[in-house]
Chains A and B, each alone.
Chain A
Amino acid sequence: DTAVSQTPKYLVTQMGNDKSIKCEQNLGHDTMYWYKQDSKKFLKIMFSYNNKELIINETVPNRFSPKSPDKAHLNLHINSLELGDSAVYFCASSQGGQNYGYTFGSGTRLTVV
């Protein structure tokens, strides 16, 4: 199946832990994104990579560190998790930075307890 796939789908962890979320796309896109969706459904961009190069880095705590080993993969590592990090994290991809529509993964629901 061609898609953007994220793992894990659900993540429950304690405050202070470090966790990673992985994302892979097989659409041949060259740009990938991490978005955070809060409890009110607001989607906010966190990072964007084009051909493994960081091109968008919103005001995100430096506990969040993205890594793109190649243009088909974008991972998100979060250190010292806090209660406020609880949200759904979506990975997305597109061809170029342009606006022909992003393809989103199905999300990773992170709950910090």
Chain B
Amino acid sequence: QKEVEQDPGPLSVPEGAIVSLNCTYSNSAFQYFMWYRQYSRKGPELLMYTYSSGNKEDGRFTAQVDKSSKYISLFIRDSQPSDSATYLCAAQNTGFQKLVFGTGTRLLVSP
């Protein structure tokens, strides 16, 4: 079992839809949670970063972490075709511990 699990998709939505992307994790020691976006043939880029449980909002993006259920979510409001990419969730313990990634969910937003 991978430490961070993610549905690979693809997830297809029309432009303007609200998108919900989710991950579960198994290591209760994880404290830091991130979402990365990866366009085709590019490196991952950091979208959102959250410490412990709670919500964080940045423009059209909202990240949620529920440590009690080991559940990580990313919501995208008013989705755009330019949001079409693979979204990777990631989690980390403290200190110089490895950042563990999920397998990524491919999102397709159609005009």
Contact = CB atoms under 8 A, between A and B. Distances in A.
B103 A99 contact: no
Interface residues of B, number: 27
Contacts of A102: 46, 99
14 contacts: A4-B43, A31-B96, A40-B8, A40-B103, A43-B44, A48-B96, A48-B98, A50-B96, A97-B97, A99-B32, A99-B34, A99-B92, A99-B99, A104-B45
Interface in A71-113: 90, 92, 96-107, 109
A33 B44 CA distance: 13
A1 interface: no
Contacts of B101: 42-44
A56 interface: yes
A55 B46 contact: no
A104 B44 contact: yes
A45 interface: yes
B95 interface: yes
B32 A45 contact: no
Interface of A: 4, 31, 33, 40-45, 48, 50, 55-56, 58, 90, 92, 96-107, 109
Interface string B22-49: 0000000001101000100111111001
Interface of B: 8, 31-32, 34, 38, 41-46, 49, 51, 86, 88, 92, 94-101, 103-104, 106
Contacts of A58: 98
Nearest to A56: B98
Contacts, number: 65
Given A104-B43, A104-B45, A106-B43, A45 B96 contact: no
Contacts of B104: 41-43
Given A41-B103, A42-B101, A42-B103, A101 B95 contact: no
A42 B38 CA distance: 12
B96 A55 contact: yes
A55 B107 CA distance: 34
